[in-house]
A and B are shown apart, each in its own frame.
Chain A
């Protein structure tokens, strides 16, 4: 089934805002138009419809959304493919929101989505990569084959032949990543080994654990045996302990009795008869002392009472007790007597203090008494001189009256003088006193002078003397009154002074009496104290003697008791030394048991630690084994990857040889059909394996041509013009197109050789026809490339039609 493109319908794709439908024929189709008329867009629209993408999108030159015309919402391209048998209508729509749809109409059947994609793949028979290499011969890709360094040209040829993909595959294998993993695992392994090295040796540890377990088992056996033994010994010890208690009691008793007997033996030196006489003498002395004591304390009845009781015969000890009783009573009375002395002492002290207070008070009042006496003397003197207070008062009144009289007389005399003066001054010629006419003025003046003199003498001397007297009397009167008042005041003090003097006298007498009494009592106290001391000593001596005499009778009984005790002790059958040995044994065994238990605990703890360490070693070993396993696996994987890489590299090389071998014939076929210059008659492509500066293997393609003139094979590219080179590239692409299996029977050329002349372009078209291609679609700028049977699609015309 030979397929060709029958028509293309384009809506909203790149430059085409308005719909455009183009019809193609079998054979040569020339899409002609000026720059920017949309020639390439038509070819890209076919590629987009068939594969849903274009090589520019894959190479990220532009985004998929950029295929939609700026003023359209969606791009839709319909390509109709036809053969002699059937036709397929493929419609692909891509809207701006990212939604894409593919529909394939096969006869009556309409496919969509995945089935439609699979159907298109089946119809075309090539992947997009292969389509780009074998069918859509792009000018830019062809240029890469002929221009540039041998290395870049070789790379472009590899890409064109599809061999570069293999290289990309083996170069993409991340061996470094795998190696890194291996290094990481090796590091981890090293770390674990170091950790293991820091732990004790496993075998040694296992041996130690075994030994400790054996020791623990031994203790498991020994400890219960020891416990049983201790239990038995303790039981025996308990029985012995009971005996020991009884033994100790008996022994204590025995020791006591022995001590008593020993004491008696010591006191046996005194003869009981002598002791008894001595005791009687002591009794007499005690009685004398106690009686004297009581008598001194004025308690005569007590002595009689004691004498009476002593006559009632009692035992020696009872007599001692009786003496002790009376001694205590005497002591009590003596205490009371001493208390009385203390009270008297206190009384004496208080009296003494009171006496001193009275003396102080008297000394204070003594000054007032002296003052009283002095004042009394002064009053007597004044009374003697001026008379009594009453007489003095009367004298004062008289003097006051005299003064008044003198003053009146002075006033009348003064008046007279003044009248005389006025006469003398000439105011009158009559005497103002006698009312007689003054005849002799000189005489009158003499009288006046005398009168003045008399007035002066009378007035001054007499009045002054009287006033002085009055003053003296008044002072005396006042002093007498003052003295009387003060004397009245001091009279009470003087009376109190007299009273205090009497009290002081009495107190002194009382104090003297008290001191005498106190002195007597104290002397008595000393005497009684001596009596008491003596009585005490006699009672003590008598008591000791009486006890010794009383105990003497018990000695025989105690000796019998001692014998009985010794028998009981023998009967008890208890050996303290054996008991001590037994006790020490129990102690030693108990201590051993504690030590064993402690050691067992220690072993258990050590075992736990060592087992923990062993577990840690086991864990580390397991981890190490796991890591080692992983390491082996990854190493195997790494080696496999290396093998795969090598295999792919070799495969690429082998395939390159095969392709080149196959390509050679097709290149020459295309060369003969297209290349018309005649300077070279045959082409050859050879592969040279070299190593880069970095040491990487690299395959370099060499294009050689057989020169017509001398039949020599020479590198062709350095000898050709750019136009000729473009032809060689086209020849190569056409040859590669011929290599593809299941390819469609059309080829699309986008400006295949832009820099060749029109004649050559026509020959290229003819050549392509000769090569048997059913349909060739060429996009070019000029219409000159006209060949017979070629369909010219002028874009301007077509667009005008629309």
Chain B
């Protein structure tokens, strides 16, 4: 049997419409920076795509900067905004304790190499940032803050963050938001949120790998990371990847991700897991969450053992947390939510996508109890 794929938060199948758009574009000649007819033709395709994506994310088309990945977009935003604001004498980078490594690591890099002071915003046991902390911090040190970065929703737990409230608290301080998990899944408007910058990634929504975007507020100029032809507002150089950009726009505008359907499947999955395994702990249970991400702690197990057993039972899922030398570390997200090292290492993330079906979920429910039982036995051995 083919495997049941419940790791859509890692990457999700490319949509047929996106594959079609991409393959058509692959056979089309032209560098979008060229001034001749073929160049102008692919330039039009890119600008069409930019407008589509702008509409979908509630930004101006001109605010979209195409990048090679979500990670690159986060790096441009964090480093660029930091350098710009440091020139004005501000040195503090405020990030949440549950950011993806694509935010944590550039922030740490700024601390190590650029003498930034990185402050982590704590989260509640339900995985939501502590706005009271932010308010108090800003009441004392707002003048020193270069930027604030908080993700729109967490990639491990799916917990949605109060971005509007944060932007209100921030006032004039730029707020960057990594929205790669939220885009296309829940309502998201760059302009309504009042953000300075926002990160998107195509392969999380049925587009191709290797293409992302930074939405950067019109009029904000920041230093570049990649210097060269100056293609994207002089902030990101490199020949534009027309086939991927076109496929990105095709995927997001197809609206094939039906949030209500995924939410219903998710809730069915959660209630049945809780029936089968009453001691399973749903992480972020009390918070508003993305439709597709479910994170359970199974006490007395080790997640790497569970992954092996799930894979052996033809189910692809994930711990959601990073690896260090291939060894799963305790998730910094779950630790920040009050888990111990031990319980954080006993957790699995199941992420549903547009293509997930009821029979997929039923199959997973049929194998899960045995996997957990074996996982517990292996943990005791």
Instruction: Say if A and B assemble together.
Output: no
